[in-house]
Structure formats: C-alpha cells, structure tokens
Amino acid sequence: MPKDNIIAFPDRMEGRAVNQVQLIQARLDELEHENEYLSGDIEFLSDQLEKNLDEVEELLADLTHIRHQELDTSIAKFNKDFEADIHFEPDFDLEPKE
C-alpha cells in the first residue's frame, strides 16, 4: 500500500535520453572560458610581480643611499665631537694577490 504514493525517479534510459556529446561540448566550452580567465589573471599577476620587484629594487637603492648618508654624517660627528684624527694603518696587504 505505501508503494502506491511513491513517485518513481525518472530513469535516464526511459523518456528523454541525455545527449552525451552536448554535455561534453558544454563542459569544454566552460573549461575554455575558465582557462581564458585564468590566463588573464596569470598575465596580470606576472606583470604586477615584475612591477613590485622593480619598486623593491628602487626602494632598496634609496635606502642604501640614505644609510650611506647617515653613516657619513655619524662618522663626521664622531671625528668632530672627539677632535681626534683617526688614521688606520693596516698591518696586512689590502691588495689581492694574483
């Protein structure tokens, strides 16, 4: 008796058959669009990475320049503050040997 109220799930073999070629073609179209988006993203990210690396290089050069200036200033202050003429005579050869 309870089986009388149950609606049977449609069987793919009966009635409308699923066209496998259309399903595969639709999935290929989806993948093609997705790959176009991904390729665009990869190109954008690659360009952005290159720009960022260039900016990092410029910033490091600026930082190096600033640090050299600070070092020169601090050395000048050290010499002036202590009124000492510091002269370094190395007891080793600074020239590379051939």
Could you tell me the mean pLDDT of each successive run of 10 residues in the chain, 98 residues long? Answer: 66 63 92 96 97 96 92 66 64 67
Which pLDDT score is estimated for 74?
A: 74
pLDDT at 12: 59
Give the whole-angstrom CA distance, residue 84 versus residue 34: 72
Distance separating alpha carbons of residues 9 and 95, to the nearest angstrom: 91
One-letter amino acid at 57 equals E
SS3 14: coil
Residue with tokens 């070092």: 71
Prediction pTM value: 0.49
Give just the sign of the alpha carbon dihedral 70, 75, 79, 82.
Answer: positive
- Round to whole Å and give the CA distance between 52 and 44: 12
